[in-house]
Chains A and B, each alone.
Chain A
Amino acid sequence: MSTRTDHSSRPGASGSALWLCAFRPFFLLTAVHALFAVGYWAGALAGLLPLPDVPGGAIAWHAHELIFGFATASIAGFLLTAIIEFTGAPPVGRKAVTSLLALWFCGRIAYAMAGTIGIGPAALMDVGFLILLVVRIAGPLWRDPSRRHVAFFHVLVALAASHAGFYIALLRQTDAIAWLLLAVGLLMILIIVALSRISMRLVNDVLEAQGGLGAPYLARPPRRNFAIFCIAVYSGAEFVFPGNGAAGWLALAAAAAVFNLLNDWHVGRALFQRWVLIPYVVYWAMALGYVTLGIGLLSGGGLGSAGHHVLLIGALGLSILIVMAVAGRMHSGYGLDHRRWLPVAAAVLLVAGLTRAAAGLPHAGAVHALLLQGAAVLWIVAWSIYLAYSWRVLSGPRPDGGQGCDEPRELS
């Protein structure tokens, strides 16, 4: 994972350390927005803060801010670094990064104020942000002769389209949440695409460190494509036929296909290393999320909220945490972090997901509000831990005095 870049033309060469690499401000914003969006939501649910008065309602704001605020910030940071690394393209300039940051930030403000200023400015900023991101990564992806990573382009375009659909639905005063649920499926697909690349490196590094590669880990494309197909079909059915029981089978198919992916991951005791275990748990959470959705649809039990929260907090939250913890440190010139905070934060996040899912169960009854607040607190604790241990890494100078996104010479 070495970048082929010219140090003298680094975007952050003459600026603060925050601009050394595109992912730095985005990863920081991801964590900060995770704290803000859920903190505000918990405060609003507790009656301490006013519920967001936006078109689509408060729940749309909550879901939108976590899907298209929190998640897309991390996606931007990851893609602007990873695509450059995968394809060997020159780094993204500081101007492009600041434009993206400005669009993302203004999008947050504009949507929060959409009740007053209308939905137009938020739509312009938010969709513009994703289109600009697509434009920035499209060139390197399509110019790469092998075009091995073009799946990122397809998913990102679909994500931009679903975001545009969300705003169009708000303008037409139709069901905007359906577009957010479609985006959840796209995010799950993006996780599979991204983890297949990252895991090949992480798992094989662990296997190598444990004494040779008797049977090297391979993220096999047919299994991955099958899982992506099942998730895409389920998301399509959920979008076109919301609440249809038949889609429950598709959700169960998606769950089984994700479990099927784990055939590649059973690599012996290396599985219990955090670098392997956390991505492994991501897939478990994804599968459990789809199982919950499937059972809910087949039984008519209304488990949609529980299932989607397992997907979003468990699978999406954990995958963002592990990617930011690994890529954020490695590309800041630090080695992998072997301290306990990462497994602790991952465990807290997982419990947050399960707690939030429990709150969505029909039997939660009297403890529903308690579980909601508990999940929010756990989420805030997990991202506070990340921020506490990553703040200096992301905002400070590289320990090796270097510039740009290069990795440290040796894995520590």
Chain B
Amino acid sequence: MKGCGRTLQRRAAATGGYLWSGWGSLASLCLVMAAWSFAAQTLGPLILPTPLEAFATLMGLFRDGTAWPEIVVTARRAMLGFGMSVVVGSVLGLAAGVSMTAAMMARPVVTLLLGMPPIAWLILALLWFGAGDGTPVFTVFIACFPIIFVGAMQGTRTLDGQLKEVAQVFGLPLWMKLTDVYLPHVVSYLFPAWIAALGMSWKIVVMAELLSTEDGIGAALAVSRSHLDTAASMAWIVALVGMLLAIEYLLLEPVKRRVESWREL
């Protein structure tokens, strides 16, 4: 009971410490806001509204109920494409990493996929799937897939052979080998790849929506651009970046620290 209380106290302190460390990031963001604000003062509201104007517009969009439906649609598409690339990319990447031959075969394909600009995929997707969810979801999937594939493959390829042998000698059960030997190492490669792919997914989905759909943040951006409404455009961009930052710093980064904590031991 006492040990449990101490663990809880330690975790609360670690969480508090993590949240407090966010002040540094906040300071950097405020510097960006200042640069934006000075630029806005120089360029004028038609070209660049101030951060406060963009926030006020975003608040207005939330108040009149416009913002949430678009955000939900975009999030659904991004998460669907990202989730598919996580599953397919991780499984295939791990499988490719197990076999030297498979890794050798996969390398040029991955280079090709990484080198292909997402806009080219988007054009193909438009031809294949037309306007609708299929185009942005596929574009996100195909753009994120090689990043995750490479991370998973490298994670498996760099497994410590000696550790494997030690696990073999001690006759560790398969489950224990997976969770205590292989997984911590592989995840330390996979997780940064997932985070990079997540960032990519948000950028790609908006680009795809801008050209192919009638709803979502990308489509809303297209509408605001056609109305020359820079404040609304900036508001949507703020919403997008804000969600990305929230997901990364409040969800992925704490999990990443947790799964990589063994490295500091």
Which A residues lie at the B interface, using CB under 8 A? 223, 226, 230, 233, 237, 244-250, 252-254, 256-257, 259-260, 262-263, 266, 294, 298
Contact A266 B50 (CB under 8 A): no
Q: Look across to chain B and name the residue whose beta carbon is closest to the beta carbon of A247.
A: B34
| Contact A256/B41 with A245-B50, A249-B31, A266-B17 known, Cβ cut-off 8 Å | no
**Cβ of A248: which chain B residues have Cβ within 8 Å of it?**
37
Name the distance in Å between B52's Cβ and chain A's nearest Cβ. 7
Q: Do A257 and B23 form a contact, CB below 8 Å, given A245-B50, A249-B51, A266-B17?
A: yes
Q: How near does chain B come to A255, taking the closest CB pair, in angstroms?
A: 8
B149 to chain A, nearest CB (A): 35
Q: Is the CB of A298 within 8 A of B21?
A: no
For the A-B complex with A230-B27, A263-B21 known, give 20 more contacts whose Cβ atoms are closer than 8 Å.
A223-B24, A226-B27, A233-B34, A245-B52, A246-B34, A246-B37, A249-B30, A249-B31, A252-B33, A253-B30, A256-B23, A256-B24, A256-B26, A257-B24, A259-B23, A260-B23, A260-B27, A262-B20, A266-B16, A298-B52
Least CB distance from B253 to A in Å reads 16
Q: Tell me the nearest residue of chain B to A223, going by C-beta.
A: B24
Q: Which 3 A-B pairs have the closest CB atoms?
A: A246-B37, A253-B30, A249-B34
Known: A259-B23, A262-B20. A252 touches B30 (CB 8 A): yes
List chain A residues, Cβ under 8 A from B51.
249
Is B38 an interface residue, CB under 8 A from the partner?
yes
A234 → B minimal CB distance (Å): 9
CB distance from B249 to the nearest CB of A (A): 14
Q: A257-B23, A257-B24, A260-B24 are in contact. Are A230 and B17 (CB under 8 A)?
A: no
The digit string for B1-42, where 1 denotes a CB below 8 A from any CB of A, is 000000000000000110011011011101101100110110
Which residues of chain A are within 8 angstroms of B17 by Cβ–Cβ distance?
263, 266
A260 CB, min distance to chain B CBs, angstroms: 4
Residues of B within 8 A of A262 (CB): 20, 23
Chain A residues lying within 8 Å of B40, measured Cβ to Cβ, are 246
A226 / chain B contacts, CB cutoff of 8 Å: 24, 27
Chain A residue at smallest Cβ distance from B38: A246
Query: CA A237 – CA B23 in complex, angstroms?
Result: 21
Cα distance A76–B97 in the bound complex, in angstroms: 66
B37 and A245 form a contact (CB under 8 A): yes
- List the A side residues contacting B41 at CB < 8 Å: 244, 246
Residues of A within 8 A of B33 (CB): 249, 252-253
List 14 A-B residue pairs with CB atoms under 8 Å apart, sorted by A's residue number: A226-B27, A230-B31, A246-B41, A249-B33, A250-B31, A253-B27, A253-B34, A256-B24, A259-B20, A260-B27, A263-B17, A263-B21, A266-B16, A266-B20
Whole-angstrom CA separation of A298 from B20 in the bound complex: 24
The answer to whether residues A256 and B21 also contact, given A245-B50, A249-B37 and a CB cut-off of 8 A, is no
Q: For chain B residues 31-79, which have a beta carbon within 8 Å of chain A?
A: 31, 33-34, 37-38, 40-41, 50-52
Contact B27 A257 (CB under 8 A): yes
In the complex, chain A residues whose CB is within 8 Å of the CB of B23: 256-257, 259-260, 262-263
Compute how far the CA of A46 lies from the CA of B26 in the bound complex, rounded to whole angstroms: 43
Contact between chains at B37 and A233 (CB < 8 Å): no
Complex alpha-carbon distance, A246 and B53, angstroms = 12
B20 and A256 form a contact (CB under 8 A) = no
Q: Which residue of B lies closest to A227 (CB)?
A: B27
Most buried by A among B20, B31, B37: B31
Given the known A-B contacts A246-B37, A266-B20, A298-B52, are A233 and B27 also in contact in the complex, defined by CB atoms under 8 Å? no
Q: When chains A and B are docked, how far (Å) is the Cα of A257 from the Cα of B20? A: 11
B244 → chain A closest CB, angstroms: 20
A230 CB, nearest partner CB in chain B, Å: 6
* Chain B residue contacts of A249, Cβ below 8 A: 30-31, 33-34, 37, 51
Contact B34 A256 (CB under 8 A): no
Using Cβ atoms and an 8 Å threshold, which residues of chain A touch B20?
259, 262-263, 266
Q: How far is the CA of A249 from the CA of B26 in the complex (A)?
A: 11
- Write the nearest CB–CB distance from A393 to chain B, whole angstroms: 37
Q: How far is the CA of A249 from the CA of B38 in the complex (A)?
A: 10
Residue of B16, B30, B50 touching A250 (CB-CB under 8 A)? B30
Q: Which chain A residue shows the least CB distance to B26?
A: A256
Chain A neighbourhood of B31, CB < 8 A: 230, 233, 249-250, 253
What is the CB-to-nearest-CB distance from A379 to chain B, in angstroms, rounded to a whole number?
30
Instruction: Give A237 Cβ to nearest chain B Cβ, in Å.
Output: 8
In the complex, what residue of chain A is closest to B42 when comparing beta carbons?
A246
Question: Of all chain B residues, which has the CB nearest A253?
Answer: B30
- CB contact under 8 A between A256 and B37, given known A245-B50, A249-B51, A263-B21: no
For B37, what are the chain A residues with a Cβ–Cβ distance below 8 Å? 245-246, 248-249
Distance A237 CA – B41 CA, assembled complex (angstroms): 14
| Contact of B52 with A250 in the complex, beta carbons under 8 Å | no
CB distance from A11 to the nearest CB of B (A): 44
